[in-house]
Amino acid sequence: MENRNIKNIFKAVVLMLFVIPINTLAQDDSDQSIAENGEAQSVEPAEETSEEPLPVNVEDKSGGEKFASIFSLADKTVPEAPVEGIDGGTLKGTNGLQWPYFTSSTIGVSGELWIDTSFKKGESTKEGEPNEKQMLAQGRGVLRISPTYIWTNNWFIQGQMELVADKNQSKDISQLVSADDVWLKFGQWGKKHNNWDLQMGRYQGWRLFNLGMGLDLNTQERKGAQVGSTAPPEFYGVTYMYYRPSSNITNIALHYYPVKFLRVEGLMQTGFDSLNNIGGRGALIFDLGWLKIKGGGEYKKKSAVTEGAKNEEKMKGAGGAVQFVIAPWVEAGGQYAFSSQSVVKFDGGKNQDATFSKWSTGGFLNVSPFATFGAAKYLTVGGGLDYTSKWDSKEDEFGNVGIFSHLQAFGAISYRLFGKLLIKGVFAYAKGNMNPTFADNTGAYQTTMLSGRLRLQYSF
């Protein structure tokens, strides 16, 4: 009897690991890039299409449980939900759904590979700041592995690992291979209501702001009117705790889905970088398909490790977005958020440069002009604009503080060759207005940027 059980267990393991489905489906392209300047890096989830995932189910006769084979994640590996967005747009995969979703135990495999080539021209009116022209080539690959165990009554356990390869060969070899997602979660899914999960590890919070088809992470247009040492303020979209945490910091989040059109995330962040970190971020998504209302707020505190040290940082903010989908033709949205940050130095004095308030607003429009016309349906055009205003606490002799602003605008066109290979061009303009309060009475100055970028991206 014991030998028979061992044989049955061995058969089940072999079936899980080596049976490949006949009809492997591929993940749709995500136009969001997967790096962030100075922040933990970002990867967007797979997008939904009209196709259903088709894992091959194989019965494990030793226990009667069904296992799906290893397979490449299908486009619609999310629970049944309202319309997420148009094909080729940027709303799909950003609506807080439980992903990747399976009905049988499996090991999901997916990923993406993108290559960028870009050019920018930057000009500055600041005395002594030279204008610049820059050509840049970037690339990144991600292999995503999602082992999932399904139990009775829709209970599940899931983990995810994202292994990252960087194209930049000028970096040290230790920086070329890294990880994005590393997390575990458990809970219930697939029910009509009251689904939930508890997630712990390294991952992104729910995205509230959508920037459209441009301003991809770590690109020239995302940095905007940055010329030399001058960097205008970056937009804020309830993003202090949105990105994957770095160093020894962990996210712990409870996700609750009371009904199909309402989703709630309560996220706590704790750990250590150079300071002890503790914070909380709440997000809510109301989703009717054609209308999506998203909002949230966050508060984070960083305190000194050394006894007697007074250095401390506090960050807080809130914001929201309204988005519309007229499937399969158009998706659009607008957003607004505000934030403040205060920094105390080691000796207890205020760091006036790093203590500031700012707000951001913007919107995007994506159009699939030939959404029902054969191969032409893979063409998408879009545009967007974002504006950020920031003022610090550094006063001059007249009591004036430094004021800074940043306007970023872009237009983009993309085509998905064979429905899978994304070919995207982005043209962008940015302008920064800087009016600092320096002791040397440096006056106001401006920076501008023009850029163009071509991206090839394949998601699987």
pLDDT tens string, the chain, 460 residues long: the values are 444 444 444 444 333 333 333 233 333 333 333 333 333 333 333 333 333 332 323 333 333 334 444 555 544 577 777 899 999 999 998 899 999 999 999 999 999 999 999 999 999 999 888 999 999 999 999 999 999 999 999 999 999 999 999 877 555 655 666 889 999 999 999 999 999 999 999 999 999 999 999 999 989 999 999 998 889 999 999 999 999 998 799 999 999 999 999 999 999 999 999 899 999 999 999 999 999 999 999 999 999 988 888 899 999 999 999 999 999 999 999 999 999 999 998 888 888 878 999 999 999 999 999 999 999 999 999 999 999 999 988 777 677 888 999 999 999 999 999 999 999 999 999 999 999 886 555 689 999 999 999 999 999 8
The predicted structure's pLDDT at residue 245: 92
**148 Cβ contact partners less than 8 Å away, ≥ 6 residues apart:** 100, 102, 105, 106, 107, 108, 156, 157, 158, 159
Residue 311, number of CB atoms within 10 A of its CB: 19
Compute how many other C-beta atoms are within 10 angstroms of the C-beta atom of residue 396.
Answer: 13
Tokens describing residue 163: 């292994």
Q: Reply yes or no: is the peptide bond before residue 100 cis, omega within 30 of 0.
A: yes
The pLDDT of residue 82: 84
CATH of domain 2-459: 2.40.160.10
Q: CA dist 144 to 27, 54, 184, 420, 431, Å?
A: 11, 19, 14, 17, 37
Give 11's contacts (C-beta < 8 A, 6+ positions apart). Answer: 60, 61, 62
Longest Cα separation, the chain: 89
Structure tokens at 190: 């697939």
Cis peptide before 328 (omega within 30 of 0): yes
Strands 262-272 and 248-259 turn out to be antiparallel
The pLDDT value recorded for residue 79 is 76
Closest-CA residue to 339 (of 272, 388, 279): 388
Locate 130 and state its tokens: 């030279």
Burial class of 17 by CB neighbour count within 10 A (0 to 12, 13 to 18, 19+): exposed
For 354, half-sphere exposure in the C-beta direction (CA atoms, 13 angstrom radius) is 12
What is the value of pTM for the model shown? Answer: 0.82
Residues in a beta bridge with 114: 140, 457
> Would you list the domain boundaries of the chain?
2-459
The β-bridge relationship of strands 421-435 and 248-259 is unpaired
